């Protein structure tokens, strides 16, 4: 292992990943606001324009935003990948992802072809270049096992997801491009099972034992799961066999259930029993993954193909339930860790000038515990009401949206609390 490359000298500046993390709750607020204004019509069908708008506010603005921010921090520090011009490239990527997602969400809501065109121009080149850079950089360092290997495969899946999404958006823009709705299933499968799920499996092998003091995952478990998922996705995409898609969905659902059960088992065996809000976000996420996998499995064997309500149920369980919960929980680890890293490490390395008034917080002091617990309750209750909305839309949708809105506002306030702590104390050092 290249220990020199793991030196913190390679770590990006504080703002490089943090600007991504601060944008995450803003898109959570946007998604909840659309749900609030819509009042529940969008829950009737996955093809409803507002449903597509909320889905992309969550998948691009929340999930991809959080995952790209985390990758920009992890690639150089934990995986030893050095990217020239990282700070500037990350700032551009953040700007393009934010603007592109806003265009795409607006395009779905207004059905305006120019907005679809703008979204393609802003998102596709930026995300494809990022994904290619990750694939090539990890290949160059020659570490294709563990989190680095999973990140490489996830980046490859992101590449395909964006290419398919770009084609679909182009079909909304230009009459000459035929809209092939069948491609949406491949776009969703590569996006969820490839990009999101594979990266989470790979990264969780490192961060769950590290931040939540669980025993490690069984030897080779995460690696095998990642390869198996990739194999299934490739098979489902290339095999022109009737029923192959259904079989692959069923096996993928089983793999989701296995991963969720193993992770829950590890979370129950934490070495330190101290209350930790990230633990609860992950437990909630794993229960949703287990349930979402169950719904997919059931739908795969339904006599007349998956029913529309089963698809919506699986979507709610897997995106807001699983992916948003995990990213929300991880933000409460990564952001305080970055504040600690950037305030404490210069002290440990003797880089602070003599006479400087030093305050380097413990990681537990960065964000107050109570507001994080309150935000978890808002998130969990909002999710529960959103699930109830699938059965009685007019009754529960608006309360669910209000809770989700409040949850994301509080998440933003909590993260800003951490950032403010960093600003005050880093400014104090610069002034000294």
Partner 1 sequence: MMTRKLDVRSLAAPEPLERILAELDILPRDARLEVTHWREPLLLYPLLDERGWQHSTVHDEKNGIYLISIRRPAT
Question: What residues contact residue 408 under an 8 Å CB cut-off, 6+ apart?
Answer: 25, 26, 28, 29, 32
Alpha-carbon torsion 414, 415, 420, 422, what sign?
A: positive
Q: Is residue 337 part of the contact set for partner 1 (CB under 8 A)?
A: yes
Q: List the helix and strand counts (H, then E) for the chain.
A: 15, 0
Q: How far is the CB of 418 from partner 1 (least distance, A)?
A: 15
Residue 332 near residue 348 (C-beta atoms within 8 A): no
Q: How far is the CB of 68 from partner 1 (least distance, A)?
A: 22
For partner 1, which residue of 7, 87, 185, 391 counts as binding (CB under 8 A)?
Answer: 7
Residue 126 near residue 96 (C-beta atoms within 8 A): yes
SS3 393: helix
Contacts (CB under 8 A) with partner 1, residues 51-90 = 78
d(Cα 376, Cα 277) in Å, to the nearest integer? Answer: 8
For partner 1, which residue of 340, 376, 396, 422 counts as binding (CB under 8 A)?
Answer: 340
Q: Is residue 145 part of the contact set for partner 1 (CB under 8 A)?
A: no
For partner 1, which residue of 33, 363, 381, 384 counts as binding (CB under 8 A)?
Answer: 363
Instruction: Return the number of the residue (38 or 276) whose C-beta is nearest partner 1.
Output: 276
For 313-375, list the strands marked E by DSSP. Answer: none
Q: How far is the CB of 7 from partner 1 (least distance, A)?
A: 5
Instruction: Return the number of the residue (150 or 404) whose C-beta is nearest partner 1.
Output: 150
Binding mask 365-404 for partner 1 (x = CB under 8 A): ----------------------------------------
For partner 1, which residue of 302, 348, 377, 392 counts as binding (CB under 8 A)?
Answer: 348
Residue 42 near residue 51 (C-beta atoms within 8 A): yes
Q: How far is the CB of 11 from partner 1 (least distance, A)?
A: 10
Q: How far is the CB of 211 from partner 1 (least distance, A)?
A: 5
DSSP line for 56-116:
HIIIIIIIIHHHHHHHHHHHHHTS----TTHHHHHHHHHHHHHHHHHHHHHHHHHT-HHHH
Q: How far is the CB of 411 from partner 1 (least distance, A)?
A: 21
Residue 250 near residue 297 (C-beta atoms within 8 A): yes
For 286-349, list the strands marked E by DSSP. Answer: none
Q: Is residue 213 part of the contact set for partner 1 (CB under 8 A)?
A: yes
For partner 1, which residue of 88, 349, 357, 423 counts as binding (CB under 8 A)?
Answer: 349
With vertex at residue 68, the alpha carbon angle to CA 24 and CA 310, rounded to the nearest 5 degrees, is 65
Q: Judged by CB under 8 A, which stretch of 221-229, 245-253, 341-349, 388-396 contacts partner 1?
A: 341-349
With vertex at residue 345, the alpha carbon angle to CA 339 and CA 349, rounded to the nearest 5 degrees, is 165
Q: Is residue 269 part of the contact set for partner 1 (CB under 8 A)?
A: no
- How many residues at the interface with partner 1, by CB under 8 A? 25
Q: Is residue 210 part of the contact set for partner 1 (CB under 8 A)?
A: yes
Residues that bind partner 1 (CB under 8 A): 1, 3, 6-8, 78, 209-213, 215-216, 271-272, 276, 337, 340-341, 344, 348-350, 362-363
């Amino acid at each position: 292992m290249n220990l020199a490359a793991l030196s913190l000298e390679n770590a990006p500046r504080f703002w490089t990943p943090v600007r991504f993390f601060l944008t995450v709750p803003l898109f959570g607020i946007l998604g909840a606001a659309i749900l609030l204004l819509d009042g529940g019509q969008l829950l009737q069908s996955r093809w409803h324009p507002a449903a597509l708008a909320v889905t992309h506010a969550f998948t691009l603005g929340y999930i991809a935003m959080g995952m790209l921010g985390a990758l920009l921090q992890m690639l150089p520090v934990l995986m030893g990948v050095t990217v020239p011009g990282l700070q500037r490239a990350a700032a551009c990527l953040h700007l393009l992802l934010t603007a592109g997602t806003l265009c795409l969400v607006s395009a779905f809501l207004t059905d305006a072809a120019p907005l679809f065109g703008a979204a393609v121009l802003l998102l596709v080149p930026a995300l494809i270049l990022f994904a290619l850079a990750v694939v090539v950089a990890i290949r160059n360092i020659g570490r294709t096992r563990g989190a680095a290997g999973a990140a490489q495969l996830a980046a490859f899946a992101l590449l395909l997801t964006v290419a398919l999404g770009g084609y679909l958006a182009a079909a909304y823009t230009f009459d000459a491009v035929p809209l092939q709705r069948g491609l949406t299933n491949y776009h969703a499968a590569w996006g969820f099972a490839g990009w999101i799920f594979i990266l989470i499996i790979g990264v969780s092998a490192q961060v769950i034992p590290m931040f939540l003091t669980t025993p490690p995952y069984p030897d080779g478990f995460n690696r095998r799961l990642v390869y198996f998922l990739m194999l299934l996705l490739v098979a489902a995409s290339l095999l022109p066999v009737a029923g192959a898609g259904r079989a692959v969905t069923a096996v993928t659902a089983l793999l989701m259930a296995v991963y969720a059960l193993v992770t829950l088992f590890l979370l129950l065996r934490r070495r330190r029993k101290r209350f930790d809000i990230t633990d609860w976000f992950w437990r909630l996420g794993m229960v949703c993954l287990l349930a979402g996998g169950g719904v997919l499995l059931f739908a795969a064997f339904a006599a007349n193909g998956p029913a529309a309500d089963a698809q919506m149920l699986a979507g709610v369980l897997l995106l807001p339930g699983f992916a948003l919960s995990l990213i929300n929980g991880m933000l409460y680890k990564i952001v305080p860790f970055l504040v600690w890293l950037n305030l404490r490490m210069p002290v440990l390395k003797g880089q602070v000038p003599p006479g400087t008034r030093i305050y380097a917080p413990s990681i537990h002091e960065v964000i107050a515990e109570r507001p994080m617990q309150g935000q978890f309750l808002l998130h969990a209750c909002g999710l529960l009401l959103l699930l109830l909305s699938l059965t009685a839309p007019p009754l529960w949708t608006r309360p669910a949206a209000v809770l989700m809105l409040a949850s994301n506002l509080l998440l933003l306030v909590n993260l800003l609390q951490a950032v403010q702590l960093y600003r005050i104390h880093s400014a104090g050092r610069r002034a000294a």
